[in-house]
Amino acid sequence: MQHHANMTAPGAAPIALRPQAPLLPGRTLGVLGGGQLGRMFVHAAQAMGYGTVVLDPDPDSPAGQVSHHHIQAGYDDPQGLAELARLADAVTTEFENVPAAALATLAARRPVAPAANAVALAQDRAQEKAHFVRCGVRCAPYAVIASAEQLAAAPAELLPGILKTMRLGYDGKGQRRVTTAAELSAAWHSLGQQPCVLEQWLALALECSVIVARGADGSIVHLPVQRNLHRDAILAVTEVYAGNLPQALAEQALQAAISIANGLQYVGLLCVEFFVLQDGSLVVNEIAPRPHNSGHYSQNACDLSQFDLQLRTLAGLPLTAPRQHSPAVMLNLLGELWFAQGAVAQTPPWAEVLALPGTHLHLYGKGQARPGRKMGHLNVTGPSPQAARATALKAAALLGIAPF
Ligand code: ATP
Ligand code: MG
């Protein structure tokens, strides 16, 4: 473990577990995980005058670069976790695959949100789906494939399907599309025979997501329902404005997200991802117990961003309903944009993009661009949905992002 003090955090003695009163600015908030989500949480916390501490093994992580303190240690390093609990008055997470046991260890000393059990559930596709069923929210037909017997017994109606590792998947990693029983068997073996779920491959009309923030008192607020376009199983574009989705569908997605959060007694920020099938029906895909890529538009289009909401749930501050003030389109900036001109990495044409009105550039401080790597995002706001879309399409053309 190494501890780097990047700058002096506001000083205040750590306070007791489960405070009745909110943690006010001047206190220090901790984050397990140093990726871009942690970086943007740190920015939001520092804007309000909080101190920050990030635990991440990477010496140059996006969040570690900007935090008051960076503890360079593994997520399960007892000394690192003890140091985090010493420095932080409350701890959140930004990385879904942080060991739930680390959150449980921290929770013995400090308020932690979200709780270890909710994070553990989101890390396990079978537990996650069982929770959807408990909440009465429809998910894709599925079967657990954790043994040769379960493989042999996989229901034929789940094919064609998609085999997903039970744990540790993101951005489509650990997934195989399969059409026949032979392909299913080959796919399960290629994934090292680890526990998986087989989901029926659904005919999607579109995808959407909802972000809710739930306080310790059970109060819930939410961001508007986001319409998402994925390319190669990675989020490419999010569009949020009146009319992005049929009203009844958006309402149904919101109610489902609220049931899922309430069913977990969830405290913190939660994103629920949905599929809309070609017959117009809604199916839940998965949950993320943290800020989500599809919520990044809220930084520039809403009066409270998803990171502000995460902070409020963690610090026990009042949750007021966020209001979207501008129609918005978010473009993900993946590593391939750095190679649009050829094999040698080049800086994308930021000045040309920023000459378009209503563009907001967010870069994560990652040194190396690689295809598929999330390097940043561009939020585009406009006076109308048409204007925001038109500007976003111009920016996409400049950057080499395919039109949408
Ligand atoms: P994330 O980065 O969101 O955590 P992940 O690796 O957990 O992604 P999923 O959300 O399970 O992956 O799937 C990624 C994408 O693949 C979905 O957004 C959707 O476009 C497609 N997909 C996944 N499952 C199905 C399915 N059962 N039917 C049709 N499309 C699917
Ligand atoms: Mg997903």
The residue whose C-alpha atom lies closest to atom 9 belonging to ligand 1 is 172
284-296 average pLDDT score: 97
171 lines ligand 1 (CB under 6 A): yes
Statement: residue 16 has pLDDT above 50 = no
Confidence of residue 401 (pLDDT cuts 50, 70, 90): very high
**Helices 78-87 & 100-107, crossing angle to 10 degrees?**
50
Q: For residues 228 and 170, which has the higher predicted lDDT (pLDDT)?
A: 228
So what's the pLDDT on residue 375?
98
Span 141-200: which CATH code? 3.30.1490.20
pLDDT of residue 168: 81
Q: Which residue has the higher pLDDT, 109 or 344?
A: 109
- Between 169 and 343, the more confident residue is 343
Using 50, 70 and 90 to split pLDDT, how confident is the model at 205? very high
User: pLDDT exceeding 70 applies to what percent of the chain?
Assistant: 95
Measured from the alpha carbon of residue 278, the closest ligand is 1
Instruction: Decide whether any atom of ligand 1 lies within 6 Å of the 162 Cβ.
Output: yes
Q: Looking up tokens 């489509």, which residue turns up?
A: 172
For ligand 1, pick from 162, 177, 274, 278 the residue to mutate: most ligand atoms within 8 Å of CB.
162
SS3 string, the chain, reads CEEEECCCCCCCCCCCCCCCCCCCECEEEEEECCCHHHHHHHHHHHHCCCEEEEECCCCCCHHHHHCCEEEECCCCCHHHHHHHHHHCCEEEECCCCCCHHHHHHHHCCCCECCCHHHHHHHCCHHHHHHHHHHCCCCECCEEEECCHHHHHCCCHHHCCEEEEECCCCCCCCCEEEECCHHHHHHHHHHCCCCCEEEEECCCEEEEEEEEEEECCCCCEEECCCEEEEEECCEEEEEEECCCCCCHHHHHHHHHHHHHHHHHCCCCEEEEEEEEEECCCCEEEEEEECCCCHHHCCHHHHECCCHHHHHHHHHHCCCCCCCCECCCEEEEEEEHHHHHCCCCCCCCCCHHHHHCCCCEEEEECCCCCCCCCCEEEEEEEECCCHHHHHHHHHHHHHHHCCCCC
Q: State if residue 308 touches ligand 1 by the CB under 6 angstroms criterion.
A: no
β partners of residue 142: 199
- The finding on whether 170 has its CB within 6 A of some atom of ligand 1 is yes
| pLDDT confidence tier of residue 13, bands split at 50, 70 and 90 | very low
Residue 216: predicted pLDDT = 94
Q: What is the mean pLDDT of residues 371-386?
A: 97
The predicted structure's pLDDT at residue 330: 98
- Whole-angstrom CA distances from 117 to 51, 75, 137, 274 are 27, 17, 20, 22
Task: Tell the residue number behind the tokens 């997470």, with chain if given.
Answer: 93
Looking up tokens 């379960």, which residue turns up?
Answer: 150
Q: What is the pLDDT of residue 69?
A: 98
Ligand 1 binding pocket includes 204 (Cβ within 6 Å): yes
Q: Look at residue 1 in the predicted model and tell me its pLDDT.
A: 67
Band (pLDDT 50/70/90 cuts) for residue 341 is: confident
Instruction: Write out the residue limits of the CATH 3.40.50.20 domain(s) in the chain.
Output: 2-112
Of ligand 1's atoms, which has the minimum distance to the CA of residue 172?
6
CATH 3.30.470.20 residue spans of the chain: 204-399
pLDDT of residue 11 exceeding 60, the answer is: no
* Ligand nearest the Cα atom of residue 96: 1
Of 299, 205, 97, 83, give the one whose Cα is nearest residue 70. 83
Fold of 2-112: Rossmann fold (3.40.50)
pLDDT of residue 9: 52
Q: Comparing 8-12, 60-64, 127-131, which segment has the lowest mean pLDDT?
A: 8-12
Q: β-strand 204-214 against 268-277: which pairing, if any?
A: antiparallel
Would you state the pLDDT for residue 94?
Answer: 95
Class of domain 204-399: alpha beta
**Residue 271 pLDDT greater than 70, yes or no:** yes
Substitution candidate for ligand 1 out of 175, 201, 206, 373 with most atoms within 8 A of CB? 175
- 285: pLDDT strictly greater than 50: yes
pLDDT, one tens digit per residue, over 72-123 is 999 999 999 999 999 999 999 998 788 889 999 999 999 999 999 999 999 9
- Boundaries of CATH 3.30.1490.20 in the chain? 141-200
Average pLDDT value for residue range 370-399 = 97
